[in-house]
Structure 1
């Protein structure tokens, strides 16, 4: 029979997608959902299998999943990913690659279902305990959370692995065994193979008890979310940055709780207590004219004036030079920054002379003379007057004629580039249409 949680978690017309590895857990989940979907004909069901390429059996596993789905008359798509574990380890890299591929393959309105169960929840709790996590980490896995624009649902969290094995035996299901599950170098396998059997032998209901603890931690976090919501909204600026000066006057626990919630809202991984201490000391409490930065995972926190900014890590564009030989054609900028177009709607910028080559760069130095202003100013002072944070200054396209800066679209034109009593043009920066790398 389908798991009772299905009717609570799933609308009767749900568009369901199962992350189908072919192992016991996802095989049981897909089989149960097939029965549920047949009872709810307005719903739909399909499977996605992620091919990590890490095992010599990966092709065979993909074929197994496609064969099972063909037998059950369900669509099954194989998603191939590449895994680079040099930075975060194979386990974490594979998990990240898997969820990125699954999320990208979802269609509008679809829900992703994964097969984590009660024993997995226990393992996740213990791993968080090993890392020294607080209540947010010890809350382990929620039954429902967002995954981009979609919902991620784990309907088996209250079922033990033993219950899934019994279901599979009763329905004569076939599944595959991943040989890497026996490799004790991986922390989760060590817990599963060595530690948890001893704990369950001593305390048969240990998994249920840890699940209750995780649920209590989750309740505490939800309560803190509610209590701190107004204070946090008062600190977050329209651009998503955080005004941090009030935090310096708060108790450390309260300030840390607000910082964690701001980081979570930016999609960041929860920082450790030590990382929050460094954030306070090295970034928030640094001198006024400093440009501090602290890397947290695949992002960094930077300060500008009295605000903190959460920024994804990106390659520097400081040395990039793009030739714009044909002004009748748009120029695509790197790193999805958009495109530039030459427009005759305004005559702000003079046309280049025959001996001048037009290029786009992302760094300038020295003094510039802005059109309509007396005297020159250091470019750094220009950016400061325009309130452009330092990291944005090297992501703004700058128009050069040969080696001379003539314009920054939407911001300024220099005296060397201004159109004076002559036809001119305008650079239009479309920030929404970029696809460059």
Structure 2
């Protein structure tokens, strides 16, 4: 059933998402048969969601099957409040992040998703009002961070898998929570699809064909957007929106969506993309609009959009650097400060002055090279420091006297009876998001 699919991959190491249910059981046993012909490596991973008293028995079942077939099995547990809202989505996010962390560099993740699952996903996307990208549902292959997910059963129905399993006398787990139609997917599976199939027996296959058409249309659109986006992406990965008011709305929203595709997050809904367009393009020139997407924010600064990771506000943070010959660790993964001979040269503190680090200052300052004080907000703007980075830059104080915004400016103070010293700020602070993968 899947031998042709498996044989085409150069990487012959596979990790099976093994729940013990029908789909993953058929997948495991088909791979075992293929292993007799090809030199492939197989591992399995089982995630216990701990939602039922039977879950431990299911884990034992999976362990037993893998032991019999000499398959290495990873077992992981998820504990989540059963009353949590949107529990299906939250479990999915946790599950995939766990799996990703276990995947070897050259390993491909295999899942047992089939045509019925594809149709369910399509209908749920319709319910959410998704466009062609959402209606594309699942693909045979999907990039999973830097790795890959393959769904070899996607063009097979559940009936076909059931027929094969019974023919081979396989044993699998029946999760009766899948009958609970309080969950959206179960409602679609047990209430909607049977009615549609009874009326139109070919509905599943036509639904599958529609998802393929949507995938083709999406790939075609992305091909053209890939060429167009280079006119707008800047060196720091921000999106230049200077001319967006003069470009058709449909093109602008498509460019915004494509720009977000590279950010390794779940692409925002049609409604959210529209919101980004209207708030970011048409708000006042002096406004500071912000849109939150999970753990990230989209911000506008100087006619560009920035995608940044949300940071804890350090406005009231105060760090004392009692031992200046010892490295000082900064919060928010901002790195550290260290006294050395390669850093920024500052006026040295006097013996009776306490060195402290802050991240917020309001008022007027006189910086070196100037003869007039200016409001610090104007200095930040002049130095082209975006608002979200301003409270992430260490501000050096001696007692209550402002000395320097490290790497940006130094305050003009009376240097009489002062020597100098050098501070290095060792940091990976960037205006864009980090490159760590997180599945949403």
Q: 1:325 to 1:109 in 2, by over 3 A?
A: farther
Aligned residue for 2:25?
27
- Measured in 2, the distance between the counterparts of 1:415 and 1:292 equals 34
Kept in 2: contact 1:295–1:301 (CA 8 A): yes
Aligned residue for 1:231?
228
Kept in 2: contact 1:409–1:429 (CA 8 A): no
Kept in 1: contact 2:343–2:425 (CA 8 A): no
SS at structure 2 position matched to 1:295: strand
Which of these residues, 56, 61, 67, is aligned with residue 58 of structure 2?
61
Aligned residue for 1:352?
349
- Measured in 2, the distance between the counterparts of 1:87 and 1:63 equals 27
- Measured in 2, the distance between the counterparts of 1:419 and 1:428 equals 26
SS at structure 2 position matched to 1:399: strand
Does 2:23 align with 1:6? Answer: no
Aligned residue for 2:37?
39
Aligned residue for 1:306?
303
- Measured in 2, the distance between the counterparts of 1:417 and 1:38 equals 81
Q: Which moved more, 1:310-319 or 1:121-130?
A: 310-319
- Measured in 1, the distance between the counterparts of 2:187 and 2:89 equals 16
- Measured in 2, the distance between the counterparts of 1:404 and 1:60 equals 65
Cα distance per residue 1:390-413 (max 9 Å; x no partner): 011112222222233222332222
Aligned residue for 2:48?
51
Which of these residues, 171, 193, 196, is aligned with residue 196 of structure 1?
193
Moved >4 Å (runs of 4+):
84-88, 417-421
- Measured in 1, the distance between the counterparts of 2:350 and 2:389 equals 30
Does 2:76 align with 1:79? Answer: yes
Kept in 2: contact 1:84–1:93 (CA 8 A): no
Aligned residue for 1:183?
180
SS at structure 2 position matched to 1:173: coil
Aligned residue for 1:369?
366
Matched length: 430
SS at structure 1 position matched to 2:173: coil
Per-residue deviation, 1:270: 2.9
Per-residue deviation, 1:431: 2.3
- Measured in 1, the distance between the counterparts of 2:324 and 2:78 equals 39
Aligned residue for 1:379?
376
Q: Which moved more, 1:119-128 or 1:310-319?
A: 310-319
TM-score (norm 2): 0.91
Q: 1:347 to 1:237 in 2, by over 3 A?
A: closer
- Measured in 2, the distance between the counterparts of 1:388 and 1:79 equals 44
Q: Which moved more, 1:336-345 or 1:419-428?
A: 419-428
SS at structure 2 position matched to 1:360: strand
Q: Which moved more, 1:420-429 or 1:111-120?
A: 420-429
Kept in 1: contact 2:114–2:155 (CA 8 A): yes
Kept in 2: contact 1:85–1:92 (CA 8 A): no
SS at structure 1 position matched to 2:104: coil
SS at structure 1 position matched to 2:231: helix
Q: Which moved more, 1:92-101 or 1:256-265?
A: 256-265
- Measured in 1, the distance between the counterparts of 2:375 and 2:36 equals 70
Kept in 2: contact 1:347–1:419 (CA 8 A): no
Q: Which moved more, 1:83-92 or 1:187-196?
A: 83-92
Aligned residue for 1:328?
325
Q: Which moved more, 1:50-59 or 1:206-215?
A: 50-59
Kept in 1: contact 2:145–2:264 (CA 8 A): no
Per-residue deviation, 1:173: 1.8
Unaligned runs of 5+ in 1: none
Does 2:413 align with 1:426? Answer: no
Aligned residue for 1:272?
269
Matches within 5 A, 1:147-186: 147-186=144-183
- Measured in 2, the distance between the counterparts of 1:109 and 1:322 equals 44
Aligned residue for 2:114?
117
TM-align CA RMSD: 2.3
Unaligned runs of 5+ in 2: 435-440
Kept in 2: contact 1:139–1:217 (CA 8 A): yes
Kept in 1: contact 2:244–2:281 (CA 8 A): no
Kept in 2: contact 1:349–1:419 (CA 8 A): no
Answer 1 or 2: higher relative contact order, Cα 8 Å, separation at least 6. 2
Per-residue deviation, 1:174: 1.7
Cα distance per residue 1:207-254 (max 9 Å; x no partner): 111110000011111111112222112111121111113222122222
Per-residue deviation, 1:52: 2.4
TM-score (norm 1): 0.92
Per-residue deviation, 1:119: 0.5
